Structure 1
Amino acid sequence: MRIILAGTGSAVGKTTISTGIMKALSEKYNVQPFKVGPDYIDPSYHTLATGNTSRNLDSFFMKKGQIRDSYLKAMDKKDIAVIEGVRGLYEGIDSINDIGSTASVAKALKAPVILIINSRSLVKSAAALVLGFKALDPEINIAGVILNKVKNKAHFEKTKRSIEEITKTEVIGGIIRDESISIEQRHLGLVPARERENSLKFIDLWSDVIKNSIDLDRLVEIANTAPKITSEIIPIWNKGNRQPVKIAVAYDEVFNFYYKENLESLEANNAKIQYFSPLNDEDLPDADGLYIGGGYPELFSKELSQNKSMLTQIKEFHLENRPIFAECGGLMYLMNSIHDDRQVGIYPYKSVLTDRVQALKYTIAEVTQDNIISKKGETFNGHEFHYSKVIVNELKNPLAFKITRGKGSYNLQDGFIEKNTLASYVHTHVAAMPDFAANFTTSAKELGD
């Protein structure tokens, strides 16, 4: 069973509704959550709501067979998949094709779609929206509608009648406007669930609203109409390292942006993952390689700078030529400073938070320097989303990546290299770089010994 919850555009409440549905269904079913697109934050809410790790499905990173492979692996021993879409149903990397869109994932998985509409001030026009979305691509099965932000019961009933009679599409629920169920936002979107002590309170509230507003039994019936997936399955990662290796992964309230498949691919390449906290731990684990993902180090820069033991040990790890890979927030942490707070200092540059987004885009990168995760001449797809920037007055070493789509860290380049440390603003998904784990674990085994 599977269902996709897609929006007609921004500000339709997809995450609130999707997470509430996941939580409500979890009372009866073993729910596997997914998120379309490269987002890290929405999946953190899904994971809290269901107790199962939410996974990203993205047709810019993944071929159709890889989307199916990721889906089927995650669905082992699960009852139902609830997939939250990204932006509007048809929004992708450009205005014509499906790549990067919710629609592409719906077609790859042959999944029915529930369309979520911001119905504020709409009645008959809501029917026009549904007609347009259904007509644009007949291959998409728009099987139902949820109306969000309705004024009252009378508004809901009028809009429901309009949609059902004009479009012959079922309305399975309507949610009355209520600002009390909204949650604060931060510069990358919703506040990450790990950072919010009362996240579960919000999720429970969303679930209660959903149970009182949406026909969940009908939603499950629609999900059950999804046909069996039988076509080609393409593995997401390659295997290349057969030797046991230890990888330390930074994971705490500061650093927690990781694609689940990236970590699984390391384990598939014989890595034993040891999690540690750059914020709270005094000592670095015994490891052959370090992986420091994205997050919000700019919000914890002073606290990170005060953990001098950790800063010193990471710097020593680097000076011993052992491999370190850092993404986005991890890149900031490895710089000389975040604002005026001293950090690890592997790179002689300063990172600063700005008041506007510096990069928000799918990226394509060409590898120009051999490094611990990729080889010169390769290309890979990625994603960048950050409000910070690195101030480079004089570049010390050539960067590893030429950015052919996107912005990068410096002059359409990214991938700062110093010894065997690589740091980049580009977030990498193993489906788009299938040798990522094989290369990194091999580097860790060869350089960590």
Structure 2
Amino acid sequence: MNETPVRGAAPAALISAPGSGSGKSMITAALARLHRNAGRDVRVFKYGPDYLDPMVLERASGNPVYQLHPWMTGMAECRWRLASAAAEADLVLVEGSMGLFDGDPCSADLAATAGLPVVPVIDASGMGQTFGAVALGLDLYRDDVCLSGVIANRTGSPGHGKMLADSLPERMPLLGAVQRNASLHVPDRHLGLVQAGEVADLDERLDAAAEVLREAGLDTLPATVELASEPLPAPPRLLEGLRIAVARDAAFAFIYRANLELLAAMGAEITEFSPLTDQTLPDCDALWLPGGYPELHARQLADNLPMLLAIRAHHAEGKPILAECGGLMACMDTLTDDDGNGHRMLGLLPGEAVMAGKLTGLGLQSLTLPSGELRGHTFHHSRLETTLEPAARTVRNRTGTAGEAVYRNGTLTASYYHAYFPSAPEAAAALFRGAALEDLDHA
């Protein structure tokens, strides 16, 4: 293990908002693309467990995007990732989650602890002088949070932008007034933004959005921040030589980059495959079916009988499978889509997954195993109809009550719960080696 502390200094800011829907995701992406196009090395992070925003942010910045969250990833990892980025990059941006003070912990907690200045994006459509009151309220709400300026989004004209600037106190500059523009919109669906790979003209949109921000005067770098961290310990080599096949395509794409890197750092050999188009599994000792949108591709999944048979054979051979959310849905006998059409799935768990047309699970949760407490989250719009009793349940972080069911069938562990593997490397390794499956009965 390298025991040398990590130190770096770079312009940095946490981009937040008074609430969801203010446009901070595309503003952050456009800022990243603006400075990347200027030749700068830009590193972007996403606060919280979101999978979809990081896909767009990676395309915008040209660099990997990692999640930061004091509870889920741990503050030590937050500090290390930020300091490592500041030591190498020309600009560090963090996109917040929901509103600045929403959640426990909230985006403001990360900003205060890490020493990041905050730049709120405020939707100014239909707003005049009240803009200043909203900005001032965000600034005064907590003494340990520093606003370095404000971005007005969706303004109607240059005159509107001047009105907003005049409403702010002298100590709080309006960094830019961004007028309404179609390039600052990416289509979304029930779980959030459409996946970056599905937007054919995404790069053109990002370049156009970057130009909109440049015209609004947002090409100036934020203040330089010094960031430091102790090094993280090297993970144990508990997966030495283990071959893990990871489903990854349009139906299964909700994967934390840090999860894959941890598995590799513990010695695993990672191979990706597509349940949609491949007809055989790679040679593997364990299988990971992550979350995604299997409901949008259910017919194609059902029609790929060779792949269904290959995964069933993997399970019949007693090899471990971890199925999360969309992966769980694919393990059922049937998946019923939004149109009410039923599609046969893997049949590794009895019953069906049914699209509910509304949010049915949300929030940070943890799963305690003898080898550690895996932290993560849940977010889904479907429900299960099954006679199978859970082998265990997660615990909701906010209330301490029972959360998502965790199901077992032999070597299969399946749940709507998404785990962040670095929160408990030993527990994650045990799931892929099969050791934790037996322990779930006693968890």
TM-score (norm 2): 0.89
Instruction: Give the letter for the 2:353 counterpart.
Output: S
Partner of 2:93: 82
SS of the equivalent of 1:214 reads coil
Decide whether the 8 Å contact of 1:331 with 1:423 is kept in 2: yes
Partner of 2:187: 184
Cα distance, 1:384–1:441 mapped onto 2, change above 3 Å:
closer
> What percent of counterpart residues are identical?
30
What is the CA distance between 1:260 and its match in structure 2? 1.1
Do structure 1's residue 146 and structure 2's residue 151 form an aligned pair? yes
Instruction: Give the letter for the 1:120 counterpart.
Output: S
Mean Cα deviation higher: 333-342 or 205-214: 205-214
Partner of 2:381: 387
Partner of 1:204: 207
Distance in 2 (CA, whole Å) between partners of 1:11 and 1:312 is 43
**Structural mapping, 1:207-246, within 5 Å:** 207-217=210-220, 220=221, 222-224=222-224, 226-230=225-229, 232-235=230-233, 238-241=235-238, 243-246=240-243
**Structural mapping, 1:11-50, within 5 Å:** 11-27=21-37, 28-50=39-61
* 1:105-130 Cα shifts (integer Å, max 9, x gaps): 21232111111111123232222122
For structure 1, the residue ranges without an aligned partner over 5 or more in a row are 94-98, 368-373
Instruction: Give the letter for the 1:215 counterpart.
Output: L
Do structure 1's residue 7 and structure 2's residue 17 form an aligned pair? yes
Give the superposed CA RMSD.
2.4
Do structure 1's residue 193 and structure 2's residue 188 form an aligned pair? no
Instruction: Give the letter for the 1:122 counterpart.
Output: M
**Structural mapping, 1:219-368, within 5 Å:** 220=221, 222-224=222-224, 226-230=225-229, 232-235=230-233, 238-241=235-238, 243-339=240-336, 340-365=342-367, 367=368
Partner of 1:415: 406
Distance in 2 (CA, whole Å) between partners of 1:81 and 1:295 is 28
Instruction: Give the letter for the 1:45 counterpart.
Output: V
* 1:142-193 Cα shifts (integer Å, max 9, x gaps): 101100111211110121122143xx11111011123464222200111111
Distance in 1 (CA, whole Å) between partners of 2:239 and 2:178 is 53
Decide whether the 8 Å contact of 2:253 with 2:290 is kept in 1: yes
Decide whether the 8 Å contact of 2:183 with 2:209 is kept in 1: no
Cα distance, 1:133–1:280 mapped onto 2, change above 3 Å:
same
Instruction: Give the letter for the 2:392 counterpart.
Output: A
TM-score (norm 1): 0.88
Partner of 1:375: 370
Partner of 2:3: none
Cα distance, 1:437–1:379 mapped onto 2, change above 3 Å:
closer
Instruction: Give the letter for the 2:411 counterpart.
Output: N
What is the CA distance between 1:412 and its match in structure 2? 4.6
SS of the equivalent of 1:206 reads helix
Structure 2 counterpart of 1:117, from 119, 122, 136: 122
* 1:271-314 Cα shifts (integer Å, max 9, x gaps): 11101111111110001111111110000000011111111000
Partner of 2:79: 68
Mean Cα deviation higher: 118-127 or 80-89: 118-127
Distance in 2 (CA, whole Å) between partners of 1:73 and 1:443 is 34
SS of the equivalent of 2:353 reads strand
Partner of 1:427: 418
SS of the equivalent of 1:108 reads helix
Decide whether the 8 Å contact of 1:403 with 1:414 is kept in 2: no
SS of the equivalent of 2:347 reads coil
